[in-house]
Amino acid sequence: MTATLIMAAVAGTAIGMLYFGLLWRATRAFTVTGGYSAFTLAALARLALIPAGIMLVLTLGGGLPELAGAALGFIAARVVIVRALSREPGEG
């Protein structure tokens, strides 16, 4: 159970990093170049990521604790990305 919980948390973190990375890139593309198609394509990809992640955790034999671990990994990825992108230019 512990190994499955750790794998679920790692999967949640990876999916979160991909999700928020796509969100950042799509937002930048939309605001800088007006790339509506890139924004829409990234939105559809992000929309598919969450159910795919849930199915991945359930396919690995996870239950409610593993889904909670994946959700915590997803939230941790959000915290990491927000902190990394909110740094002032020139900061460490």
Where are the chain's structural domains?
A: 2-85
- On the 0-12 / 13-18 / 19+ scale of CB atoms within 10 A, 90 is exposed
Give residue-wise pLDDT tens across range 29-81: 888 887 788 788 888 888 898 898 888 888 877 789 999 999 999 999 999 99
Rounded to 5 degrees, what angle do the CA atoms 34, 77, 16 make?
60
pTM listed for this prediction: 0.81
* 12 and 69 Cβ atoms separated by less than 8 Å: yes
Instruction: Give pLDDT, residue 91.
Output: 59
The mean pLDDT of 8-18, rounded to a whole number, is 91
Instruction: Give pLDDT, residue 75.
Output: 94
Instruction: Give pLDDT, residue 15.
Output: 92
Instruction: Give pLDDT, residue 92.
Output: 54
